[in-house]
Structure 1
């Protein structure tokens, strides 16, 4: 059975280059938002800033109007125990909070999708460590991807790193995904699993890897807004995400401003960008 028969979209090098344009816009938008996070700012102010930046640079927000009920904003803004899909609004950030910002943009029909979790002012040591562990697990996952390998090699690397760092909850009901002409495509990219399972990693496959990790339970509740997902035990959560691909030269993180060159080099992974 071929990749396209299973709904997996394989891109040409030229199409990956177009995805890089969308990915770079997402990465630059997240850097702008990271610098704007501070006590006293509202999540709606961050959303307004994100939408203006994306549209001013030739993009369209991926999330706005997505699915049913239609998502009403440009970013997902999830605070503290909110893991993912928080809706921006009048909530004011306070010292000690963390905010997960998920952002997507479409340029010329191609999607980029990435997320960061940002501390607001000074946060507790265990919360700072949660953010470090989650972000590092994302990079370990991408670093495990090789042409000819399997998608679950990424999953195994994410899980193995997090488990080695302490007692954390890793969400299993929400996963990473394929991405390209649509934001969410096959295949799913779980954050737990054994090596050697799932579709092969081939040139032209683009994936969004997104570990979601908590200080407590892996179990979650869905809010009445039908979007916001929170931990059942009220524990803080972190969410990091990048869109990436693997070329014959190495890995290329399409939503990282530097293409992932610095972090990949630290993990001994060749850079495959152009």
Structure 2
């Protein structure tokens, strides 16, 4: 995915460390899609592909494809048979070459991806245009960017000696469910939008850091030089331990708000 931000590489193994917790919102999202027998299904921002397999299980007769901007993620996903995998840019999907006339899809799913694309609200019409009449467009984004797991990282990264290195690191963001619903309603869709706060029970050493270092904090961490990154990580871990204290049994409860939208395009 082209960007003016500092590029970074994803680590599928680190991302999959909390596969069950990260997968539950995907399951809850797809459960609201009422497509009976779609011919073509696309997971846009498929990551390592472990959740895309659920789409194939749900619609075994459909042609299912997974698209992600990360070559590392697609390389990991390519070990899964029965699904077409592709390195691709979400923004290219939203603004395709008008001469290419790409095929429309019956179900377009995007799970925890749009938050990485600046001004993604403006891309919704283009993404919806890739959906066939009567088809489904469903996506989920985190809505917890005002929580300490994010604000502590942002505040620390703004301090020297980190700021000069981290200022161009990609930072995710999202909108409220009503914002997404209005755009899609104005485009003639039937829309179901909601939010859910999950309470993830984490264990182990610095589990909140382990969680965020695989997703939201990863671009910041990779933007730092090797001699500064350990210092930043230790300061960040200390502040996260204070914000999310473990109980006597060593458990940390991490509230995580998610925003869901399921839209059916007009026929």
Q: TM-score, normalised by structure 2?
A: 0.24
> Computing the radius of gyration over CA atoms, which structure comes out larger, 1 or 2?
2
- Larger fraction in helix: 2
